[in-house]
Structure 1
Amino acid sequence: MRRRGKGGGSVFYHEGKGKWVAQLTWVDPATGRKVKREKHCETRKEAERALADMVAAQAKGLLTDPSRLTTRDFALEYLKRLEREGLRPNSIRLALDELAHALPSLKDPKAHDPLGRMRLQEVKPVHVRAAMDRVVEAGYAPRTVGRVLMRLKALFREALRLELVARNPAEAVKVRLPKGEKAARALEPHEVARLLEAAEASRSKDMALLLRLMLETGLRRGEALALQWRDIDLEAGELTVWRAWVKVAGRGAFSEPKTPTAKRKVPLPRGLLLRLKARREELLERLTPEEVDGLFLVGGVKPVDPDAFNHYLRRLAERAGLGRVRVHDLRHTWATLALSRGVPLEVVSERLGHASPTITLNVYRHLLEEERRGWVLDLEELLYPAPRAQA
């Protein structure tokens, strides 16, 4: 048996198997247990090369101790970790739903789940690909399929960071799908006018006001529903976003805003400000200022069910002849109209409460590129301006 220095492993010939063996032994710092890894080769040269690869991998922390941890078990730990780190309940639910498309045993322990029942360290790209094929065959929308793959990549990226796997098996997987429905629709100005006209004719003044507020500020649904009158400074002409009203497990609940930058102050356009002042004056005719401050813009002493505004918007859009308009389309409309009128990207990003302008750029890059095509420097016009016509 040929031995190297301490931690260098050994290469020897196994008489019983008729193979050359590359063997590496080390102590796992996490458990204190001795770990042994072997690889059988046809020739001594191949074994020495295999040993060198193992030594290099072990030095980088990539040669992990085989574990009984399954993909499903790790996914459950991963979701609990996200919850402990403060991810919003709705975001946790969404992550679970999307991962469960590929790992159905997350929701039903008895479900057929080849990938979920595999040992985490045994998963290869072909196994991830098979799970994604099942998601595609189930008939989910292209956007949903893409998000499932994104979740799997994030899951195995975390396992790689924790040195539980030597590589991310999901990174190599590509799923080519036809383009699905756009994530959001930006209404044209004349469509916005029709929607607002239908809102003014509707029975709910508060819902109509909420619709206008979302269209004129770009607030998320949960941020707008969580607003109380005390959060609106009518003198300064701004509102403060500091929480959100979301649906968790079928019930409304308050949560932190989606990102740290989502806690923000948002200026109010003059027309909207006047409407808010008029509505507050109506409330003050029968309530004290303190009582009004404690009311929510919609719902009174308690915010309405988060889905109520969705139903209101759907009926309103149908009445206005606009087809399907989703709640997020209102936010997308505000951002699109703002950017198309030259509002700086950084300002739009701040008003939307995005974590960084990069996110805003990625979403609205196509619009910015179209706008920039109109900005050109014509040297002929600059250096040789046309003579002005004589009066």
Structure 2
Amino acid sequence: MKRRGKGGGSVFYHEGKGKWVAQLTWVDPATGRKVKREKHCATRREAEQALADMVAAQARGLLTDPSRLTVRDFALEYLRRLEKEGLRPNSIRLAQEELAHALPSLKDPKAHDPLGRMRLQEVKPVHVRGVLDRVMEAGYAPRTVGRVLMRLKALFREALRLELVARNPAEAVRVRLPKGEKAARALEPEEVARLLEAAEASRSKDMALLLRLMLETGLRRGEALALQWGDLDLEKGEVRVWRSWTKAGGKGAFSEPKTPTAKRVVPLPRGLLLRLQARREELLERLTLEEVAGLFLVGGDRPVDPDSFNHYLRRLAERAGLGRVRVHDLRHTWATLALSRGIPLEVVSERLGHASPTITLGVYRHLLEEERRGYVLDLEDLLYPATRAKA
């Protein structure tokens, strides 16, 4: 056995296992308990390097006391902490649903959950990769798998901040979309026309109007559902977005917008403005101006269930022969069409309510790169326009 000084650990050969062992022992100042860490290596040099790494990590406070805390238990604590920090109910619900793809026991404690039952400190990148592969094999889209990985990264990032783990095992894992796969679908102008035609033929005028509003402004579903007629200034031609209608725990509830910049005033296109004015005039035939102002665009005295619009859009898209169209695709369509027609990135970001143009750029970088290929400066055209014209 080769020993270092006090607190330096030791390196020795284990006859029974035929391995070199790096061993470090210290006293946890928080509990007063003696803690021992061992690592088995093939050679003495590897063991000595492993010991040096452990000593350095322990000195920096990164070598945590082995804990029985499981990934599932920490995930439950993490979700409760998000709720205490005031995260929007819908955001918490989405976080739980996406984490549950990797940790099924979050929804059903008896479910088969290899990762959830592992100790938090035992998880390695290979375990994260394995659970993502199982999610993919279950038939979920690559975009969903990417969201699951994002949640696992955030979960272990919190554990790292709390010094419960020495590294984030999810950071080393990557999920790449297959060639041609897009995170969201942007409808072509002809597809938008077909969808709107199907909406005009539907029985619900208010749902059709809400669909057109989302397509022409890029509002999120919750933002659009929370709108009352009093939020629209039809004289100025703008709408004030200041809250969201979401679903949490099976019930609808109002919440703050997703980001501070999501509280915004959005101008209304002329065609949409005329339709809104006509619809308000219909309501004013039987109600006072004050009564109309308190009504929601869809639902009257109370916003409709968020899922109702999802079902409406699905049926509408099938009727229009468009296949599957998701609610977020409407917002993505507006942003794509706006950028492709030269509306500045900063304006698009502001209308979408993004926290910054950087976020918008990250989502639509591919589109902007395609558009920029057409921006070239030809000196021949600039310096000799007459000659080029004759040619």
Judge same fold: TM > 0.5, yes or no: yes
Mapped to 2, the partners of 1:358 and 1:199 lie a distance apart of 34
State the shift of 1:319 in Å.
Answer: 3.5
Mapped to 2, the partners of 1:368 and 1:145 lie a distance apart of 26
State the shift of 1:50 in Å.
Answer: 4.4
Contact 2:9 2:51 in 1 (8 A): yes
Secondary structure at the counterpart of residue 115 of structure 2: helix
State the shift of 1:62 in Å.
Answer: 1.4
Contact 1:142 1:180 in 2 (8 A): no
The structure-2 alpha-carbon separation of the partners of 1:275 and 1:23, relative to structure 1 and needing over 3 Å to count, comes to same
| CA displacement 1:83-116 (0-9 Å, x = unmatched) | 2222222222222222222222222212222221
| CA displacement 1:345-367 (0-9 Å, x = unmatched) | 01101101112212211221221
Mapped to 2, the partners of 1:139 and 1:117 lie a distance apart of 23
Q: Which runs of 5+ in 2 are unaligned?
A: none
Mapped to 1, the partners of 2:49 and 2:181 lie a distance apart of 51
Mapped to 1, the partners of 2:387 and 2:46 lie a distance apart of 82
Contact 2:381 2:388 in 1 (8 A): no
The structure-2 alpha-carbon separation of the partners of 1:33 and 1:143, relative to structure 1 and needing over 3 Å to count, comes to same
State the shift of 1:132 in Å.
Answer: 2.8
State the shift of 1:388 in Å.
Answer: 9.6
Secondary structure at the counterpart of residue 389 of structure 1: helix
Mapped to 1, the partners of 2:50 and 2:193 lie a distance apart of 70
Contact 2:380 2:388 in 1 (8 A): no
The structure-2 alpha-carbon separation of the partners of 1:378 and 1:112, relative to structure 1 and needing over 3 Å to count, comes to same
State the shift of 1:167 in Å.
Answer: 1.8
State the shift of 1:65 in Å.
Answer: 0.7
| CA displacement 1:12-32 (0-9 Å, x = unmatched) | 999999999765454545445
The structure-2 alpha-carbon separation of the partners of 1:122 and 1:291, relative to structure 1 and needing over 3 Å to count, comes to same
State the shift of 1:310 in Å.
Answer: 2.3
| CA displacement 1:288-342 (0-9 Å, x = unmatched) | 2221111001111011121222232233333334333322222111111111111
The structure-2 alpha-carbon separation of the partners of 1:161 and 1:390, relative to structure 1 and needing over 3 Å to count, comes to closer
Moved more, 22-31 or 75-84: 22-31
| CA displacement 1:233-256 (0-9 Å, x = unmatched) | 223322111111122233322222
Moved more, 288-297 or 83-92: 83-92
Contact 1:212 1:272 in 2 (8 A): yes
State the shift of 1:382 in Å.
Answer: 1.2
Moved more, 174-183 or 116-125: 174-183
The structure-2 alpha-carbon separation of the partners of 1:282 and 1:29, relative to structure 1 and needing over 3 Å to count, comes to farther
Secondary structure at the counterpart of residue 283 of structure 1: helix
Mapped to 2, the partners of 1:278 and 1:37 lie a distance apart of 74
Contact 1:232 1:240 in 2 (8 A): yes
Secondary structure at the counterpart of residue 388 of structure 1: helix
Contact 1:214 1:220 in 2 (8 A): yes
Mapped to 2, the partners of 1:312 and 1:163 lie a distance apart of 47
The structure-2 alpha-carbon separation of the partners of 1:17 and 1:76, relative to structure 1 and needing over 3 Å to count, comes to same
Moved more, 17-26 or 84-93: 17-26
Q: Which residue matches 1:343?
A: 343
The structure-2 alpha-carbon separation of the partners of 1:118 and 1:319, relative to structure 1 and needing over 3 Å to count, comes to closer
Mapped to 2, the partners of 1:186 and 1:348 lie a distance apart of 15
The structure-2 alpha-carbon separation of the partners of 1:289 and 1:168, relative to structure 1 and needing over 3 Å to count, comes to same
Moved more, 3-12 or 377-386: 3-12
Contact 2:105 2:112 in 1 (8 A): yes
Mapped to 2, the partners of 1:363 and 1:136 lie a distance apart of 23
Q: Which residue matches 2:166?
A: 166
Contact 1:143 1:180 in 2 (8 A): no
Moved more, 194-203 or 258-267: 194-203
Secondary structure at the counterpart of residue 317 of structure 1: helix
Moved more, 331-340 or 142-151: 142-151
TM-score normalized with structure 2 length: 0.87
Contact 2:54 2:63 in 1 (8 A): yes
Q: Which residue matches 2:276?
A: 276
Contact 1:142 1:179 in 2 (8 A): no
State the shift of 1:54 in Å.
Answer: 2.2
The structure-2 alpha-carbon separation of the partners of 1:282 and 1:16, relative to structure 1 and needing over 3 Å to count, comes to closer
Contact 1:259 1:355 in 2 (8 A): yes
Q: Which runs of 5+ in 1 are unaligned?
A: none
Moved more, 248-257 or 351-360: 248-257
The structure-2 alpha-carbon separation of the partners of 1:266 and 1:53, relative to structure 1 and needing over 3 Å to count, comes to same
The structure-2 alpha-carbon separation of the partners of 1:23 and 1:141, relative to structure 1 and needing over 3 Å to count, comes to closer
State the shift of 1:228 in Å.
Answer: 0.6
TM-score normalized with structure 1 length: 0.87
The structure-2 alpha-carbon separation of the partners of 1:315 and 1:53, relative to structure 1 and needing over 3 Å to count, comes to closer
The structure-2 alpha-carbon separation of the partners of 1:262 and 1:370, relative to structure 1 and needing over 3 Å to count, comes to same
The structure-2 alpha-carbon separation of the partners of 1:63 and 1:323, relative to structure 1 and needing over 3 Å to count, comes to closer
Moved more, 289-298 or 18-27: 18-27
Question: How many residue pairs get matched?
Answer: 391
The structure-2 alpha-carbon separation of the partners of 1:316 and 1:23, relative to structure 1 and needing over 3 Å to count, comes to closer
Moved more, 149-158 or 58-67: 149-158
State the shift of 1:187 in Å.
Answer: 2.1
Contact 1:338 1:348 in 2 (8 A): yes
The structure-2 alpha-carbon separation of the partners of 1:105 and 1:179, relative to structure 1 and needing over 3 Å to count, comes to farther
| CA displacement 1:170-192 (0-9 Å, x = unmatched) | 23334567458533222222332
Moved more, 375-384 or 355-364: 355-364
State the shift of 1:69 in Å.
Answer: 0.6
State the shift of 1:224 in Å.
Answer: 0.5
Moved more, 183-192 or 4-13: 4-13
The structure-2 alpha-carbon separation of the partners of 1:328 and 1:160, relative to structure 1 and needing over 3 Å to count, comes to same
State the shift of 1:201 in Å.
Answer: 3.2
